[in-house]
Amino acid sequence: ALVLGIESSCDETAVALVDSQRRIVAQRIASQDAEHAPFGGVVPEIAARAHAERLAPMIEGVLADAGIALADCDAIAATAGPGLIGGVMVGLVSAKALAMATDTPLIAINHLEGHALSPRLADETIEFPYALLLVSGGHCQILRIDGVGQYRRLATTIDDALGEAFDKTAKILGFGFPGGPAVERKALVGNAAAVPLPRPMVGSGEPHFSFAGLKSAVLRAHESRQYAVADIAASFQQAAVDCVTDRLRIALAGMEDVDTLVVAGGVAANTVVRNALEQLAANRAMRFAAPPPKLCTDNAAMIAWAGIERLGQNDPLDIAARPRWPLDPDAEPVRGAGV
Ligand code: ATP
Ligand code: MG
Ligand code: FE
């Protein structure tokens, strides 16, 4: 089977064709970094406009690259949320139009499910259940993944997401946008022990996250003019990694029957994060998997793959785009949680 995937929830316009043998038959990604960089972050209106301008030629381009007609696709999968609503609507409306014109099933995909299932696209041996650390620009969660659509959230952040913390740190240190990869690069030449920074929530019996205090401490360290930016970047990254591994240890204690640890989302592209998780898994005799970095940050292959996992589903053409869409609607609300 073959599925066309469309992603437009943030600032990458992406289209991909993926088949049930896990082949990414064709894909295109257009980043909007240049458009948003002058503003130091993603501007929703600019993002929606850019998606609208680029999407149709990119869909044509991907089909042409693969030499495939839309009618040969078994389904069209599009991100239907959560995300910036203008962009999500552009992608979803396009998918609906194509689905209607060619009488092809529409599969509305939760962007977070795209991230959550991406390790299975990268590696056919990843089976349910697995423990998932989902670390992206808007989310920081630990979930138990028991199957497609069977997601239990065990932890979330009470303030910032981890990717957001990387982006804010980059902004404070003057690295520009987007920040995560810049922090990682600068940290390579810094001393991770140079700057004393807090590890918020570490030691708490609940596995939740908090990064706002760490970001504030980064700001104070920078303003003190006592430290080199590379040292602050490296110390921040280490503090963040210490938080993540501590929180995971607590969450995994409640999932003794799960033997695979998986990381996904943009921050999963970070080598220091990946290495720390690999070590944690090894210490617990768990298997560890992380998709290749290009499948960690936003892309349409993961959306198409989620469509493959959901083949047979045929969503109504009036299905709505959703700015918010939790993977686990039954998750306990967390005091102070913004996400
Ligand atoms: P969400 O998936 O929660 O809706 P998003 O789609 O904007 O948010 P992703 O594209 O999954 O997020 O991830 C982007 C985030 O990942 C950004 O915050 C970015 O800084 C971060 N990121 C990307 N590469 C790295 C890296 N090498 N190190 C640290 N962070 C990174
Ligand atoms: Mg982006
Ligand atoms: Fe994402």
Per-residue pLDDT of the chain (339 residues; tens, 9 = 90+): 999 999 999 999 999 999 999 999 999 999 999 999 999 889 999 999 999 999 999 999 999 999 999 999 999 999 999 999 999 999 999 999 999 999 999 999 999 999 999 999 999 999 999 999 999 999 999 999 999 999 999 999 999 999 999 999 999 999 988 899 999 999 999 999 999 999 999 999 999 999 999 999 999 999 999 999 999 999 999 999 999 999 999 999 999 999 999 999 999 999 999 999 999 999 999 999 999 999 999 999 999 999 999 999 999 999 999 999 999 999 988 876 544
Q: What is the dihedral of CA 234, 173, 30, 322, to 10 degrees?
A: 90
Q: How far apart are CA 199 and CA 240, in angstroms?
A: 7
Are the CB atoms for 45 and 86 separated by under 8 Å? yes
Q: Nearest C-alpha to atom 8 of ligand 1 is from which residue?
A: 137
Helix 180-187 with 271-283: angle, nearest 10 deg: 80
Binding residues for Fe cation: 111, 115, 298
Considering every ligand atom shown, identify the ligand nearest to the alpha carbon of residue 163 and give its number.
1
How many A from CA of 87 to the centre of ligand 3?
13
Q: How far apart are CA 37 and CA 18, in angstroms?
A: 31
How many A from CA of 301 to the centre of ligand 3?
12
Are the CB atoms for 299 and 14 separated by under 8 Å? yes
Q: What type of residue sits at position 16?
A: A
Q: In this structure, are strands 75-81 and 106-110 parallel, antiparallel, or unpaired?
A: parallel
Q: How far apart are CA 21 and CA 4, in angstroms?
A: 14
How many A from CA of 187 to the centre of ligand 1?
17
pTM above 0.90, yes or no: yes
How many A from CA of 77 to the centre of ligand 2?
20
Is residue 97 classed exposed, middle or buried when 0-12, 13-18 and 19+ CB atoms within 10 A define those classes?
Answer: middle
- Helix/strand/coil for 52: helix
* pLDDT attached to residue 339: 46
**ipTM beyond 0.85?**
yes
Closest C-alpha to 229, from 273, 179, 187, 166: 187
Residue 155 pairs in a beta bridge with: 142
Q: What type of residue sits at position 165?
A: A
Q: Where does ligand 1 bind, in terms of residues with CB under 6 Å?
A: 9-10, 83, 111, 115, 136-139, 163-164, 166-167, 178-181, 184, 265-267, 269-270, 297-298
Binding residues: 111, 115, 134-138, 167, 180, 184, 270, 298
Q: Is the dihedral of CA 86, 88, 89, 90 positive or negative?
A: positive
Q: Nearest C-alpha to atom 4 of ligand 1 is from which residue?
A: 138
